[in-house]
Amino acid sequence: MALVRKKVIYELKGVVSAGKESRVYWGKGFDGEDLAVKIYLTSSAEFRKGIIKYIRGDIRFDSYVPKSSKKLMALWARKEYKNYCLLARAGVSVPQPIAQHQNILVMEFIGESGVRAPLLKEVELSLSDYEGLFYAILEDIRRAYLKAKLVHGDLSEYNVMVWQCRHYIIDVSQAVRNDHPNAHDFLMRDLRNIHKYFTKELGLNIPPVNKLFEYVVGNVDNI
Ligand SMILES: Nc1ncnc2c1ncn2[C@@H]1O[C@H](COP(=O)(O)OP(=O)(O)OP(=O)(O)O)[C@@H](O)[C@H]1O
Ligand SMILES: [Mg+2]
């Protein structure tokens, strides 16, 4: 495969996660480094319907949505790779993107010896560590909006990994530019998800969602 020829992937070791539309593998690079390799599988009609709104309305991609499933999955992998690059460049804590070819995305592996780091949903921390984590994630949502000009669009306790006292925001294929017609709705939904998890599930006392929104979009400088 091209990514082997290009000396990006030396070998694939095991499956980290098998979703309906994509599979994430633990791989090794040519220098023995761990890699996460996300491979998009063929798309179902349902998946196609679900993702169209994240492609249309994003000026980086014209409104043309490929008919062929293969092309659509390659577009989706390219979108995720580009989003990862923009976020990483803006200083948002994400796995470092490494390469993309067709429907395959290669990035830094978060975890150790092929065992992925836990998701935010799966960790158990002290209340004060959770509080620190919440504000670190909020800063990243703001950095994403103001610097990378992106809104995640599917943020929740399932799309944040926690590793060595640091969080990593993942799963950014659906992220859209902040001038997308639905960007503010997506941002409100992201903030509501995160707010709900930290308040209802973890019992943290944090400002209401509308205040978080004003802070993230830069209308106020403090929270
Ligand atoms: N860089 C990475 N390092 C280690 N594990 C990762 C990495 N990226 C993703 N994973 C693991 O793979 C899972 C699925 O990845 P991701 O959330 O990007 O895909 P998805 O399309 O949402 O799939 P799913 O529907 O299974 O959540 C994550 O929940 C995480 O456990
Ligand atoms: Mg996910």
Tens of each residue's pLDDT in the chain, 223 residues: 789 888 899 999 999 999 888 999 999 999 999 999 999 997 788 888 888 889 888 888 766 788 888 999 999 999 999 999 999 999 999 999 999 999 999 999 999 999 999 999 999 999 999 999 999 999 999 999 999 999 999 999 999 999 999 999 999 999 999 999 999 999 999 999 999 999 999 999 999 999 999 999 999 999 9
CATH code of 2-112, in short, is 3.30.200.20
Separation in Å, CA 216 to CA 57, 135, 146, 195, 220? 21, 11, 8, 13, 8
Provide the residue ranges of all domains of the chain, joining segments of one domain with +: 2-112, 117-216
3-state secondary structure of 194: helix
Report d(CA 80, CA 47) in Å as an integer: 15
Helices (H) and strands (E) in the chain, counts: 6, 11
Closest ligand, as measured to the CA of 121: 1
- With a 6 Å cutoff on the Cβ, whether 91 touches ligand 1 is no
Ligand 1 atom 10, closest CA: 24
| Cβ atoms 222, 150 nearer than 8 A | no
Ligand 1 atom 16, closest CA: 171
Distance 150 CA to ligand 2 centre (A): 17
Q: How many CB atoms lie within 10 A of CB 130?
A: 18
Separation in Å, CA 1 to CA 26, 40, 137, 150, 185? 16, 15, 36, 32, 40
| Residue given tokens 């004003």 in the structure block | 214
The architecture CATH gives domain 117-216: Orthogonal Bundle (1.10)
Ligand 1 atom 17, closest CA: 171
Query: How confident is the model at residue 37, as a pLDDT?
Result: 98
E-only strand ranges, the chain:
11-18, 22-28, 34-40, 97-101, 104-108, 111-112, 115-116, 150-151, 160-163, 166-169, 176-177
- With a 6 Å cutoff on the Cβ, whether 170 touches ligand 1 is yes
The burial class, CB within 10 Å (0-12 / 13-18 / 19+), for 89 is: exposed
Residues annotated as catalytic are 154, 171
- With a 6 Å cutoff on the Cβ, whether 110 touches ligand 1 is yes
Query: How confident is the model at residue 62, as a pLDDT?
Result: 67
Report d(CA 101, CA 78) in Å as an integer: 8
Q: Which is it for strands 34-40 and 11-18: parallel, antiparallel or unpaired?
A: unpaired
Query: How confident is the model at residue 139, as a pLDDT?
Result: 98
- With a 6 Å cutoff on the Cβ, whether 111 touches ligand 1 is yes
Query: How confident is the model at residue 64, as a pLDDT?
Result: 77
Q: Cα dihedral sign for 141, 193, 72, 23?
A: positive
Give 154-193 as a DSSP string.
S-STTSEEEETTEEEE---TT-EETTSTTHHHHHHHHHHH
Query: How confident is the model at residue 59, as a pLDDT?
Result: 81
Secondary structure element (H or E) that encloses residue 214, with its range = helix 209-216
Query: How confident is the model at residue 71, as a pLDDT?
Result: 92
pTM of the shown model: 0.96
